[in-house]
Structure 1
Amino acid sequence: MFLKPTKVKGSTSEDETPKCAFMVPKKEISMVPDMGKWKRSQAYADYMGFIMALNESVKRKKLTCDYHVSETVEKLLKLLATLERWIDETPPIDQPSRFGNKAYRTWYSKLDQEAEALVSAVLPADKGAASAEIAVYLKESVGNSTRIDYGTGHEAAFAAFLCCLCKVGALTVEDQLAMVFKVFDRYLEVMRKLQKTYRMEPAGSQGVWGLDDFQFLPFIWGSSQLVDHPTLEPRHFVDERAVNEHHHDYMFLECIKFINEMKTGPFAEHSNQLWNISAVPSWAKVNQGLIRMYKAECLEKFPVIQHFKFGSLLSIQPVAP
């Protein structure tokens, strides 16, 4: 499977990665025609391989099932707890505009200063040289401090962050379920708290025509969890009672619960795309459709991918033939 540690160019062996092999990731997609480079890149193949491997691993499994929790996963949860603690320590300020509370910038500057140290604490001692490269994806995953917004591109940076941890061998195939059910689920909690506390704008929102204002991946992995469910069908997620009863077990329903809390009015009006999805006959079809939609609406959209950064672990180089 994709999640094996990758030999970084210039390394003598898988365990002995010289410092010079890592690099601080940078933007490579500056114009619409550059999108072809992204689609052909090793980074795209690795990123999609990672998303699909996790999609497969969570199939038909509840959030509450038993799974392996490694030391690295525990360290990642500690990192996310630190980010949450900083939110509590940085309350929103009084300001005339309702959205985009400027206190977020104070919170973000703390992460900007500490990101490398936070990542260092997660990595095995012999992989410390990768911290500067991997920290960039962590910083990109929490929103934009200039615009005070958050969207699917930031969410993709967090998936890229986890992908890089796999590539250096800090996370392994055994961590797949914990990556989604523990780490990513906790990340969503912290992001929701950020969004609510600082009234962040949805980045590049398509409004009612988008799947969700902020997230996409939990709908993909969440629909995979529900494949072949004996009683819950896609039509049930628009029923608030079914959502309240089962949201602890399924990421998809957790997302719907959050939407129900944040938005008022008929579901079909504020979340039209999801309403349409509730008419799909099976969760397997929902899952396949969402993967196609994710590629088209997020990964193939220049406004999203122009912000993506490429280094040695997620490389802009084309996939070797």
Structure 2
Amino acid sequence: MAESDQQSGAISENEPLEVTTPFMVPKKEISMVPDMGKWKRSQAYADYMGFILSLNESVKGKKLTCNYKVSETVEKLLDLLGTLERWINETPPVDQPSRFGNKAFRTWFAQLDKEAEVLVSAVLPADKQAAAPEIAVYLKESVGNSTRIDYGTGHEAAFATFLCCLCKVGALKADDQLAIVFKVFNKYLSVMRKLQRTYRMEPAGSQGVWGLDDFQFLPFIWGSSQFVDHPTLEPRHFVDERVVNEHQQDYMFLECIKFINEMKTGPFAEHSNQLWNISAVPSWSKVNQGLIRMYKAECLEKFPVIQHFKFGSLLSIQPSQP
């Protein structure tokens, strides 16, 4: 990974980045394949990748059950996600002829669409309330598409972008990093899994058996970082169901494998071929580096994913500063 990637957008120990331009409602800027060059050179790309790698570094070798600080902002984010979960309980699936894509998801989404700014305002400090309309866009983008009733890695990236924006306005700080992954992102995953199950959401742009997973990518990156230098568990162990059941409460990667095992039938090597191949990699640090490369190539450099990305004042389409 490039050194510049790692530095830019990393969560700073200092004061938050002062945003000199006014907040704005983010909009799409990537409308054709040749626009992808603009994205790769943008400040948004540098900041987003820096954020992902900064969190990757912070969770290295740590269990989900380790001790870490839980700030007031983190608690507020957990409340926000708890609200989304409660709305699922209050919006049961409807009877319909097609098995997938239950239309009740649209009712659930309409509630989020209406309430998103209020939910985000509750998380922001008093002096940053003006950022709510900008940041709320990423929250709405992070739960799936209400027209197609699908969910994929682009929606997951929108949630990471939402968290990155909260760091940029100073709502989340450098010492929140472990809680961002272990508490907030983990709770987000559990709410998304509930959405996927309840409304039988389609995988967005799924590559079928050749994709890493139908829905998620980031928990595999951060989850593999948790295992770096583990004294006993090696990549080959995650295909062993006994190991998964014994350790999934400590490791995000194994939680993902458990969910796949619950949702899919048949031999693991057939329904999750890419993950099966990863289990043959000799070390977790190699798995981690390989997944970061794969994430860039399969998600961040794919036009069908990035055409939906929205740019504002916090994540700018302007070229990154060297």
State the TM-score, normalized to the length of structure 2: 0.96
In the alignment, what sits opposite 2:103?
102
In the alignment, what sits opposite 1:17?
none
Q: Find 2:20's aligned residue among 6, 9, 12.
A: 9
Question: How large is the RMSD of aligned CA atoms in angstroms?
Answer: 0.6
**1:225-236 matched pairs, under 5 angstroms:** 225-236=226-237
Task: Look up the SS of the partner of 1:249 in the other structure.
Answer: coil
Deviation at 1:3, TM superposition (A): 1.5
Deviation at 1:320, TM superposition (A): 2.1
Task: Look up the SS of the partner of 2:318 in the other structure.
Answer: coil
Aligned mates of 2:259, 2:233 — CA distance in 1: 19
Q: Could you list the per-position Cα deviations for residues 3-53 of structure 1 after superposition, in whole angstroms to 9, with x for gaps in the alignment?
A: 23212124xxxxxxxxxx100000000000000000000000000000000
Identity among equivalent positions (%) equals 86
In the alignment, what sits opposite 2:185?
184
**1:255-266 matched pairs, under 5 angstroms:** 255-266=256-267
In the alignment, what sits opposite 2:204?
203
In the alignment, what sits opposite 1:28?
29
Aligned mates of 1:170, 1:320 — CA distance in 2: 24
Aligned mates of 1:70, 1:56 — CA distance in 2: 20
Aligned mates of 1:51, 1:247 — CA distance in 2: 22
Segments of structure 2 that go 5 or more residues without pairing to the other structure are 1-6
Q: Could you list the per-position Cα deviations for residues 183-229 of structure 1 after superposition, in whole angstroms to 9, with x for gaps in the alignment?
A: 00000000000000000000000000000000000000000000011
In the alignment, what sits opposite 1:269?
270
Amino acid at match of 1:256: I
Amino acid at match of 1:7: E
In the alignment, what sits opposite 2:321?
320
In the alignment, what sits opposite 1:118?
119
Task: Look up the SS of the partner of 1:231 in the other structure.
Answer: coil
In the alignment, what sits opposite 2:174?
173
Amino acid at match of 1:227: V
Amino acid at match of 2:19: V
Amino acid at match of 2:141: E
Amino acid at match of 2:308: H
Aligned mates of 2:164, 2:321 — CA distance in 1: 19
Task: Look up the SS of the partner of 2:122 in the other structure.
Answer: helix
Q: Could you list the per-position Cα deviations for residues 110-132 of structure 1 after superposition, in whole angstroms to 9, with x for gaps in the alignment?
A: 00000000000000011000000
Amino acid at match of 1:142: V
In the alignment, what sits opposite 1:75?
76
Aligned mates of 1:45, 1:184 — CA distance in 2: 21
Deviation at 1:246, TM superposition (A): 0.2
Aligned mates of 1:316, 1:125 — CA distance in 2: 27
Amino acid at match of 2:250: D
In the alignment, what sits opposite 1:45?
46
Amino acid at match of 2:267: P
Segments of structure 1 that go 5 or more residues without pairing to the other structure are 11-20
Task: Look up the SS of the partner of 1:122 in the other structure.
Answer: coil
